Structure 1
């Protein structure tokens, strides 16, 4: 088993956005300011090119460019986990190899979903092929059944993968099945890690024994989740539930606008513009952007998020320039 240089992951790990220019090209110059901002917000790690980062929509050369930009920007200050999953296992293995070459701290992979693994054994063998591309880096399997359609037990995966993948570090667990998460946590012990992946259920993950969580809303509402962590540590469950409720309000507000594009719009509202999304994710229109902002104001998001916010006219102008 690989012992990572960063020790055990703790706290909030931001699932980062990939910044694009208005013409759809990678805006790698925007990565460093984003990383500095996240570190200032006490984010403890970066999960790059996952669902939030639209990694599956990028070509391999683009993914390599983005991965290198984040590793360079982090400069060892916080760990960078690069998601390398691909419909081609050969391509995924090459991305893992590249991540190791550029100095990433770990790699992770989601399963192919067009030709789905037909058994838990096939899934483990597929992940083993990818992980072998970066034998010196910790590897996390990305379990997200609502997207992949794979319903194999993550505990079964962990039990089998420990025997098959020498550099296995654990699982990025994005599922509401808290009982499965707890069983994985208990089996993992101190040797492996199971990272919680549902922002609006962070409190449930903590109660099940989680110590680290990967999420997209940590990019623009970190104070909400820091407050949940603190209240939980202080055994103040009423306070923790209140902040979790605000997280849920936030998610319920932006989901109808399209979760990926809406979250990029919120980044523009707080002065961290990441540009448009890439098709097949459609960016918000100016009208939808303004409506989303109005609804966020109504729930008090800009007051309790604890972040500076651009005036409406400036944030709309920034968004319009990146559509």
Structure 2
């Protein structure tokens, strides 16, 4: 079964001025990221504003990305929803469109105990083929439900298609515990862009990076330097990538991501409400900072 690895880009979802999903720009973004060298695509996650889209919109986005990628990179579709029925519907849809796998976030907002977490992921796993890979996705700071190592171990032991975890909280103790599951054969991909290189050293397969949806170049360069065993270069690149993380606020405000993509010539529109577009003054300041980083990166990324 395929895994997420290297630079897995958590994609934004482009919108038209009318508020509809912009599938033409989604195609352009897919090609942009592939041409920049990312290894995998991860649409419809947190960066993709998943809970702001209808089920039909999410299916259409998944179809566009899978079709446009056309096997050039691995595509795992995030399918987690606010109830089990919709999650399973989206999981089955991902299978039907020949995605390479799925990610499934924990239940959100409503408190969920360990028994409920186990049965939620069990139900999703059993709804798809045993050879169709699935990552459980833990982002406790947003979902309000943490996914303990003990639950993940039990899931990985009982369901062969649960092959990994996407963990989007910067806790390296927990990352290390996840990497020990199934005698280190369990796939772990952090969602903390700033920790890409140290996560690789810890045994993770790569990173699921939101910042790389806007600036994939430094992350691709980090991974290539790591594969080439040039640690000093990889460290320099990681420090440089961290500057982009700071300027882009790490995705805390997705309007920043979208304005930065607009700056790069990809008109992806803006965020859906209740979030708002950043102010004109913020956009001006953002562009100035991106100009500085572009100049700084010329030699480093050459």
Query: Do the structures match in fold with TM over 0.5?
Result: yes
For 1:257 and 1:190, how far apart are their aligned partners in 2? 30
Partner residue in 2 for 1:320: none
Instruction: Quote the offset at 1:241 in angstroms.
Output: 2.6
Aligned residue for 1:99, secondary structure, equals helix
Partner residue in 2 for 1:227: 221
Partner residue in 2 for 1:310: none
Instruction: Quote the offset at 1:21 in angstroms.
Output: 0.3
For 2:157 and 2:229, how far apart are their aligned partners in 1? 37
**Contact 2:47–2:251 (CA<8 Å) still a contact in 1?**
no
Deviations, residues 114-165 of structure 1 (Å, cap 9, x unaligned)? 222122x221211122233323521110111211222342x21321102343
Aligned residue for 2:90, secondary structure, equals helix
| Residues 43-82 of structure 1 mapped to structure 2, 5 A cutoff | 43-82=38-77
Among residues 33, 38, 44, which one is paired with 1:38 in the alignment?
33
Aligned residue for 1:46, secondary structure, equals strand
Instruction: Quote the offset at 1:71 in angstroms.
Output: 1.0
For 1:108 and 1:256, how far apart are their aligned partners in 2? 20
Partner residue in 2 for 1:129: 123
Partner residue in 2 for 1:211: 205
For 2:118 and 2:137, how far apart are their aligned partners in 1? 12
Q: Cα 1:234–1:98, aligned 2, differ >3 Å: closer, same or farther?
A: closer
Aligned residue for 1:283, secondary structure, equals coil
**Contact 1:222–1:305 (CA<8 Å) still a contact in 2?**
no
Q: Cα 1:144–1:305, aligned 2, differ >3 Å: closer, same or farther?
A: farther
Alignment of 1:304 onto 2:302: no
Among residues 283, 286, 289, which one is paired with 1:289 in the alignment?
283
Deviations, residues 19-64 of structure 1 (Å, cap 9, x unaligned)? 1101110111222222111111111111010011111111101111
Query: TM-score if structure 2 supplies the norm length?
Result: 0.91
Where structure 1 has 5 or more consecutive residues not aligned to the other structure, the ranges are 307-323
Partner residue in 1 for 2:269: 275
Instruction: Quote the offset at 1:236 in angstroms.
Output: 4.1
The count of aligned residue pairs is 299
| Residues 71-150 of structure 1 mapped to structure 2, 5 A cutoff | 71-119=66-114, 121-135=115-129, 136-150=131-145
Aligned residue for 2:116, secondary structure, equals helix
For 2:38 and 2:245, how far apart are their aligned partners in 1? 20
For 1:92 and 1:20, how far apart are their aligned partners in 2? 23
Q: Cα 1:256–1:226, aligned 2, differ >3 Å: closer, same or farther?
A: closer
Instruction: Quote the offset at 1:194 in angstroms.
Output: 1.1
Q: Cα 1:236–1:21, aligned 2, differ >3 Å: closer, same or farther?
A: same
Partner residue in 2 for 1:315: none
Q: Cα 1:258–1:9, aligned 2, differ >3 Å: closer, same or farther?
A: closer
**Contact 1:196–1:212 (CA<8 Å) still a contact in 2?**
yes
For 1:281 and 1:192, how far apart are their aligned partners in 2? 36
Among residues 191, 195, 198, which one is paired with 1:201 in the alignment?
195
Deviations, residues 203-227 of structure 1 (Å, cap 9, x unaligned)? 2211211222111111232221233
**Contact 2:6–2:206 (CA<8 Å) still a contact in 1?**
yes
Moved more, 157-166 or 108-117: 157-166
Instruction: Quote the offset at 1:275 in angstroms.
Output: 1.1
Q: Cα 1:58–1:302, aligned 2, differ >3 Å: closer, same or farther?
A: farther
Among residues 171, 193, 199, which one is paired with 1:177 in the alignment?
171
